[in-house]
Amino acid sequence: MSQPSPDKVTLEDLLRLKRAERPLAEFWHQFDRELQAKQLAALVGKKRWWHSTARTLTRFSYLPLGATAALAFTFMVAHQYLSPAAEIASSSKLQAPAAKIAPAPAVLRPAVAVQSQPPAVIPHEKIASTTVASVQPVSRPAVPAVTRELPTTITWLADTLQATDTTPLSEHAMSVNFADARIDNPRPASNLDSMGDVKARLTSDPLAQVSSPSEMQHARLVAALTDVRLVCTDDPVALMHRRLATRMGDDGLADDAGRLDASGNSVSIKF
Amino acid sequence: MEVSKAITKAFVANPERQQEADADRAIVQQVQAGDVAAFNRLILKYRERLYSVIYNMTGNREDTADLAQDTFIKAFQSINRFQGHATFFTWLYRIAVNSTVTHLRKNRLRTFFSLEKVVEEGKNSEIIAALTDKSGAERDTFVKELQEKLNDALQKLSINHRTVITLFEIDELSHAEIAEVMDCSVGTVRSRLHYAKQLLQAELQPYLRK
């Protein structure tokens, strides 16, 4: 260090003065007392809950949390979309009115008897339920009503299940049934409209007279389906194949495929 | 353990510092073995130096006392994690500097200074005599004014520059030791030191005589 002289004072000399700023001896007694008290407090002080939490988390930090989350997400998505039975069950719970209007087996007209009876006006509920009720066995009465507002994918799966369970007799009976209805009234859609009127007359609740958009859409879909059924005279298996081909060619399938996007190491699903 | 000793030796070039580091290591091992009272020897050994570093960074006596005590508490609580990769005093200094930097960043808007009295002895008296020929109360006033001016100049530096200049000029640590304490390269330390000195010289120009 340079020796200070009256003629020369450097920056280092000035900073040396800072070194001389020291507390008095009394200060250190107080310092020691306070430090001892703090040491004791630190020794007996309770550890907070987040200390143990942080330690636990760091202990398991080797787990690939991102991969675990991705796996859990994939499992949830797969569980949701690959179990139609669960979907149908949950949907049937949500659609209690539909389940109520689903006819009991006794309500359904037997396929053979249908031909001899005049098929007056078929109520909307009956048409809706008959569409699948004739396909499904009696032991599964809730399924037909559910198909009304299911998503496209689930409807497709339900239809596939129906097709596998379909017997030629029931398909034929259903066709005959609708053929009778068509003879009486060549426009099933107008039947549906008149069905709405009957329903309005029968119900006293004014709110029940208001048809919801979903019911109207359902009516249109059923009308289109009945048209196909009435015109069709093919083998049921061929009909099923045609329906499958039609659905696979739909824009909906392209839309479903468009929801999946794979780029790099990630797969994104649009909802 | 041999590797850590080699690293420590690389940083401790001074033989006196090496002996000091070995002595500290022995005390630390005693504390780690359960001899809690041995830690008091480390407190007595380093409290003034630690206080000086923190004081020159903060410029406040009360904050310095609290920060120095907290530093010793933290060191005591985590002494079992000290593995000897560095010397004990650089490890302790690192705790102190980190605590002080955190404190300064938290209270950057609070600028209250309380300065210690300058102990005039030996070379300090000669420096003051070189700066002023006054005596008595006028000399005390001059010293106080100079002290405030020095503190103001230091506080105008950034925290990193202030830390470097404090550790190098006031606490006389080497570049390598400062680099280890501040967790940066020696080149960075030199650069910061050069820049800090330039700023201080500009600020303290009226007191410098060539």
Q: Residue B59: pLDDT above 80?
A: yes
Q: Residue B104: pLDDT above 60?
A: yes
CB contact (8 A) between residue A17 and residue B51? no
**Which chain A residues contact residue B200 at CB under 8 A?**
11, 15
Please provide the average confidence, as pLDDT, over all residues in chain B. Answer: 85
Closest CA to A194 of A185, A204, A205: A185
B182: in domain: yes
How many CB pairs (< 8 A) connect A and B?
A: 101
CB contact (8 A) between residue B126 and residue A23? no
The residue-averaged pLDDT of B184-206 equals 93
Residue that has been written with the tokens 């029931």 in this structure: A170
B141: in domain: no
B137: in domain: no
pLDDT tens readout for residues A188-203 = 555 555 555 555 555 5
Q: What is the pLDDT of residue A63?
A: 59
Identify which has the larger pLDDT, A43 or B42: B42
**Which chain B residues contact residue A40 at CB under 8 A?**
none
Distance, CA of A182 to CA of B184 (rounded, Å): 90
B130: in domain: no
B148: in domain: no
Lowest mean pLDDT among A204-208, A242-246, B97-101: A204-208
What is the 3-class SS of A4-71, one letter each residue? CECCEECHHHHHHHHHCECCCHHHHHHHHHHHHHHHHHHHHCCCCHHHHHHHHHHHCCCCCHHHHHHH
Confidence of residue B41 (pLDDT cuts 50, 70, 90): very high
How far does Cα B149 stand from its chain's mean position? 19
DSSP A206: T
Q: What is the pLDDT of residue A97?
A: 45
pLDDT tens readout for residues A83-107 = 655 555 555 544 444 444 444 444 4
**Which chain A residues contact residue B73 at CB under 8 A?**
35, 38-39, 42
B29: in domain: yes
The residue-averaged pLDDT of A108-127 equals 45
Residues A65-77: b if buried by 16+ CB within 10 A, e if exposed: eeeeeeeeeeeee
CATH of the domain at B38: 1.10.1740.10
Q: Is the pTM of this model over 0.90?
A: no
Three-state DSSP class for B114?
Answer: strand
CB contact (8 A) between residue B65 and residue A31? yes
CB contact (8 A) between residue B170 and residue A11? no
Domain count, chain B: 1
Contact predicate A146/A95, CB 8 Å: yes
Helix (H) and strand (E) counts in chain A: 15, 2
User: Is A42 within 8 Å of chain B by CB?
Assistant: yes
Alpha-helical segments (H) within B12-158:
15-33, 38-58, 61-77, 88-106, 123-131, 137-156
ipTM above 0.90, yes or no: no
**Which chain A residues contact residue B170 at CB under 8 A?**
15, 18-19
Q: Residue B136: pLDDT above 50?
A: yes
Measured between its terminal Cα atoms, the distance across chain A in Å is 75
Q: Which domain holds residue B63?
A: 2-111+157-207
| Sequence-ordered list of residues with C-beta below 8 angstroms from that of B111, at least 6 positions apart, any chain | B155
Q: What is the pLDDT of residue B145?
A: 86
Q: What is the pLDDT of residue B161?
A: 95
Distance, CA of B150 to CA of A19 (rounded, Å): 12
| CA torsion angle B175 B177 B182 B184 (round to 10) | 60
| Segment 4-43 of chain B within 8 Å of chain A by CB | 43
User: Is B201 within 8 Å of chain A by CB?
Assistant: yes
Distance, CA of A101 to CA of B58 (rounded, Å): 81
Identify which has the larger pLDDT, A220 or B8: A220
B188: in domain: yes
Give B163: exposed, middle or buried? Use CB within 10 Å, 0-12, 13-18, 19+.
buried
